[in-house]
Chains A and B, each alone.
Chain A
Amino acid sequence: MSWEIWDVAVVTLIGAACLWLVVRRVRRFLDRAGGPCCGCPQARKCAKEDRL
């Protein structure tokens, strides 16, 4: 397979991964919006320890 095809595939994969991360971040923000953990930098740590 030529490098051009790999090139497009790699860039598409990275772009899709970034988009997915952004969407996940925004969804998390909206899920917590107005709630007790909205914007809290400790929220992920609390979720891991099942304290939410």
Chain B
Amino acid sequence: MADKAVTVALVGNPNCGKTTLFNRLTGANDSVANYPRVTVAAKVLAIEHRGWTINVADLPGIYSATSASSEERVGRDFIHFGAPDIIVNVLDAGNLDRSLFLTTQLIEMGRPRLLVLNMIDEARRKGIVIDIPALAVMLGGPVVETVGSSGGGIGALLDAIVDLAESAPSARHPGIAYDPHLEAAITRVRCMIAALHPGNLSPGQSRWLAIKLLEGDEDILAREGDHTLLIAAVGRERNELARTHGQDCEEMFAHARYGFIHGVLAEARSQPMGADVAADPTQMLDRIFLHRILGLPIFALLLWLMFEATFRVGSYPMAWLEAGMKWLSDHIAGFIPAGMTHDLVIDGAIAGIGGTIVFVPNIVILFFFMALFSETGYLARAAFLMDRLMHPFGLHGKAFIPLVLGFDCNVPAIMATRTIESARARLIAILITPFMACSARLPVFILFAGAFFPDWAETVVFGIYATSILASMAAAVVIGKLVVHGGNEPFVMELPPYRMPSARAVLFHMAERGVNFLHKVGVVILIGSIIIWFLQEFPRDVPSSRDWGAAIAELSAGPAGPERDQAVAALDNAHRQERLEHSYLGRISVAITPVFAPLGFAWRDTTAIITGFMAKEVVVASYAVLLSQSRDSEGAGLRAALAGTMTPVVALGFMVFVLLYAPCFSTVGAIWRETGSWRWAAFSIGFSFAIAWALAFVTVGVGRLLT
């Protein structure tokens, strides 16, 4: 009798050949049939191999670890409460799409596991080729091929069990990244569970319990029934998720798991184009969208179409809003007597708000497309393509999850990196997120592209977004090679099945972004605009280089005509320029401007850059306030006024700079919190500033050479 013992549980879907395998392993002769649910209770037999006693438990076939039927409860309870040392997950090699669903739940249980690709002979006959090492890495456990009916691979399976028993426990969790809202709910429920069961549960166990509760597992809900606060909180979370996503929690978990499976199989399996592939729309569409050659051009084309629509369709409501803001400004101007209050309200608050609010339609349209891409499942494919593109550079795609979320806002994108297990990959993801063109930067790009490149504005914005993606990739490589050392972690990009988008979810996403932007306009941009106005208006008794009043009066007294009017306007403008340059804002900006002189930026641009640190939308508000006196109306007037302040080449350099320079106030806070160190927040500011300056310098330099 061997003195070392290990208990293994054979777990798998009904009819995947567990009992055949059990009989082969133990020499038993239990009844086997080619239909599901032959086993209805756990049966345990002991065998010996390489000096180990292996207690093999044959469990009823289950499709999921959520207790729907009594057999599923038997299987799930044996795994979770019977505590086998090793889980042997038996998979039908010819039907991995379905078999791996249970695997995703076993991964979450965090037990040491071994995967058995049973009936591998049948899979090969179908022309299916499986990359075993890749599958092992992505699923976090050894993989063995067996043919239960002939006993093929049984020796290798026994060896793998003993090897796993002899090795240190390392059930590495490759991680299933759920929707950020779902992850936030899991974290909140997990914290409550940890507080209710102090010291009893590991973080992995409390996470599993939180997932089961959110999934509505009746058995687990009944077990935790005494904790009324917890049950009530779970109910609230489920209702809130259902309200915001238009689908049940169970569906959300299932979609994420199937997405994970699809991602694993896209990497590790190739199969011929058979009837089953042709009948599956997801597989058919993936053959097009994930095509090795066509995939990226299709992605680029869709991005370009998105910006084309953002510009073309957005230009109509934008014009209405511009006219509305002008009407409002004119009417309010009529009510307030001339003086400082008049200037503060008209040239400060309304100019700043009006200059920014006109971009709400563009933002809403952009997010309509983003929501459409996300809801249909295409966004995950885009991230998958990026992941594949980065493989030659030795960098895995998990660092690119913020690539997708960062288009929205950098702060939740940085928070979403919590799903990345590897500290190195997470730090890289946090540090590259600020390079993603968040929606706050969109108004800047639309304003500049419209002002300097009116004929191909959408192509310029598309180019800026492409630069954003490329810069984040380059930054990931640089940070990975030079700053954060270490090996790469295996990674699975979840690929959810394609779905018809839900109108409710798309509208909710658009409304959320629109309201978010309006909230910023009402708070940050309003305050920012007023402060900029104060700084540009004071001090009022600045020394003059000449008596401007007398000079203007002298010119005005001359013979009337367009030349006189032009000369008076030029003199008036020069007077205003001098006053602005002597204002507090002018003095601060003039002091900093030498840093930006090689890029061709003037003091006004420096001001916009400084204020943009508060929030990137304030860049537009800054120009709106600074140019308010030299333009006739909002929007189009702002573009026209801006067009005269710099050359198109410098404008392009400015767009590149705004795209990449220091993250905003909130993002710095998020980096500080998530890395736990102000040093990384400071590094992010310095690193992004250096990259932005260098790339803007190159853009302006090359542009000047070409023009």
Contact = CB atoms under 8 A, between A and B. Distances in A.
B340 A34 contact: no
B31 to A, nearest CB: 55
A10 B341 contact: yes
B527 A38 contact: no
Given A29-B665, A33-B678, A22 B527 contact: yes
B230 to A, nearest CB: 14
A26 to B, nearest CB: 9
B476 interface: no
Contacts of A40: 411, 415, 669-670, 673
Contact of A38 (B337, B340, B530, B672): B672
B415 A11 contact: no
B667 A39 contact: yes
Interface footprint category on A: 20 to 34
A7 B340 contact: yes
A50 interface: no
A31 to B, nearest CB: 11
Interface in B672-707: 672-673, 676-678
A10 B676 CA distance: 43
Interface in B400-422: 409, 411-412, 414-415
B676 A11 contact: no
B668 interface: yes
B673 A15 contact: no
Interface in B364-417: 409, 411-412, 414-415
Interface in A1-27: 3-4, 6-8, 10-11, 14-15, 18, 21-22
Contact of B670 (A10, A22, A38): A38
A36 B673 contact: yes
Contacts of B676: 34
Given A15-B530, A15-B534, A37 B673 contact: yes
Interface residues of B, number: 26
A22 B673 contact: no
A33 B670 CA distance: 9
Contact of B341 (A11, A22, A36): A11
B-side interface mostly? helix
B669 A32 contact: yes
A34 B678 contact: yes
Contacts of B340: 7-8, 11
Contact of B344 (A14, A34, A41): A14
A47 B534 CA distance: 33
Interface of A is mostly: helix
B666 A39 contact: yes
Contacts of A8: 340
B531 interface: yes
A11 B673 contact: no
Contacts of B672: 33-34, 38-39
B411 A18 contact: no
A15 B527 CA distance: 9
Contact of B337 (A3, A11, A15): A3
7 contacts: A3-B337, A11-B340, A22-B527, A29-B665, A39-B666, A39-B667, A40-B673
Interface of B: 337, 339-341, 344, 409, 411-412, 414-415, 527, 530-531, 534, 665-673, 676-678
What are the 8 tightest A-B residue pairs by CB atom distance, in nearest-first order?
A39-B669, A39-B670, A38-B673, A7-B339, A38-B669, A11-B340, A10-B341, A18-B530
Given A18-B527, A29-B665, A36-B673, 18 more contacts: A3-B339, A6-B341, A7-B337, A8-B340, A10-B341, A11-B340, A15-B534, A38-B669, A38-B670, A38-B672, A39-B411, A39-B669, A39-B671, A39-B673, A40-B411, A40-B415, A40-B670, A40-B673
